[in-house]
Chains A and B, each alone.
Chain A
Amino acid sequence: MLDFDAFFKELKDGVAEIAQKEEVNFIREASSDGAAFLNAVKADVKRWAKQYAEGKLSKEEFEFLVKGKKDLAKMDALTRAGLAAIRVERMRAAMIDLIITTAGKLI
């Protein structure tokens, strides 16, 4: 008789373990990265506003730099989306390994 039950139980436990590990890491990293990005933007824009007030930056230069921060915000969002996709990709690779290892043990 085929022992698929044992195979799928072991697989299920392994998948849950991979998912839990990846999810915890992702939430922790995403939260700290997001806060760091916003703090950096705030500090830079504040400094540029001061330099604009002091005449070290022209209005056009100030606006250009702020436009750059908007582009960086877009890049930040893209990077987060990409990193999430990489998590999925890592889980997929780990699951392939798990399937092969689990099947190997049962054969």
Chain B
Amino acid sequence: MDSRALKSLAALVIAALLAGCAAITGYDPTSYKTATDLKVEALILIEKAQDPPAQHTAAIESLRMKLRQALEYEKGKGERNRVSKELWSTLVNPNGGLLGGFLKKWETEKRSQSPAFLEGISKNVEDAFDRIIEMESHKVKD
């Protein structure tokens, strides 16, 4: 093997080693779109919590299903997507203080929520979605 071939081989081996050890998944346009779409849908639904939940049962169930689908999609990408998966899990946790917890609270109490509370939860949920969107948008694009 001549020197040129050896150099090329060495460079390829190093490049292949580096390519094989990615620490985190790359940018996924589906994940980005899902997060931005659900952010808007969630914030609109929170505004509607000035009403009792019975008037919005279908919208609540629809959002809950989409949130679960989003979480499952992120889980499916494996361990290298751990951060995004954990971000979604925190957002949708029914025992937490963000969107999952809010939906559970609204349904369990079976009554409209106060304006001051809706303002606060809306800001928290918006910030939470922004973390997920920020994370995805910074990922390396192919």
| Chain A residues near B (Cβ < 8 Å) | 1-4, 7, 40, 44, 48, 51, 56-58, 61, 64-72, 74-76, 78-79, 81-83, 85-86, 88-90, 92-93, 95-96, 99-100, 102-103, 106-107
Looking at the assembled complex, report how far the CB atom of B137 sits from the nearest CB atom of chain A, in whole angstroms: 10
Question: Could you give, for residues 91-106 of chain B, a 1 whenever the CB lies within 8 Å of some chain A CB and a 0 otherwise?
Answer: 1010011100110010
Beyond A106-B7, A107-B4, is A85–B23 a contact (Cβ under 8 Å)? Answer: yes
**How many CB-defined contacts (below 8 Å) exist between A and B?**
138
> Interface residues of A: mostly helix, strand, loop or mixed?
helix
A72 to B134 alpha-carbon distance, docked (Å):
14
Closest 7 CB pairs of A and B: A67-B97, A68-B97, A103-B11, A82-B83, A68-B124, A56-B116, A85-B24
A64/B121 contact (C-beta < 8 A), A79-B131, A82-B83, A83-B135 known: yes
Contact residue among A3, A67, A72, A88 (Cβ-Cβ distance under 8 Å from B128): A72
Chain B residue numbers with a CB within 8 Å of A61 are 113-114, 116-117, 120
Contact between chains at A93 and B140 (CB < 8 Å): yes
Question: Size band of the B side of the interface?
Answer: 35 or more
Complex: how many Å from CA A29 to CA B90?
24
The binding surface of chain B is classed by DSSP as helix
Q: Is the CB of A103 within 8 A of B19?
A: no
User: Are the CB atoms of B7 and A57 closer together than 8 Å?
Assistant: no
* CB interface residues, B 71-89, toward A, < 8 Å: 83-84, 86-87
Output the residue of A1, A71, A90 with the most chain B CB within 10 A: A71
Q: Is the CB of B138 within 8 A of A83?
A: yes
**In the complex, how many angstroms separate the beta carbon of A39 from the nearest chain B beta carbon?**
13
- Of B105, B115, B120, which is within 8 A of A48 by CB? B120
Q: Is the C-beta of B58 less than 8 angstroms from some C-beta in chain A?
A: no
Closest Cβ of chain A to B32, distance in Å, is 14
Contact among B6, B26, B127 with A2 in the assembled complex (CB-CB below 8 Å): B6
Are B124 and A74 in contact (CB-based, < 8 A)?
A: no
Nearest A residue to B84 via CB reads: A82
Complex Cα gap A106–B24 (Å): 32
- Are A89 and B140 neighbours in the complex by a CB distance under 8 Å? yes
**Contact across chains for B140 and A65 when beta carbons are under 8 A apart:** no
B54: chain A residues within 8 A (beta carbon): none
A104 to chain B, nearest CB (A): 8
Q: Are A99 and B3 in contact (CB under 8 A)?
A: no
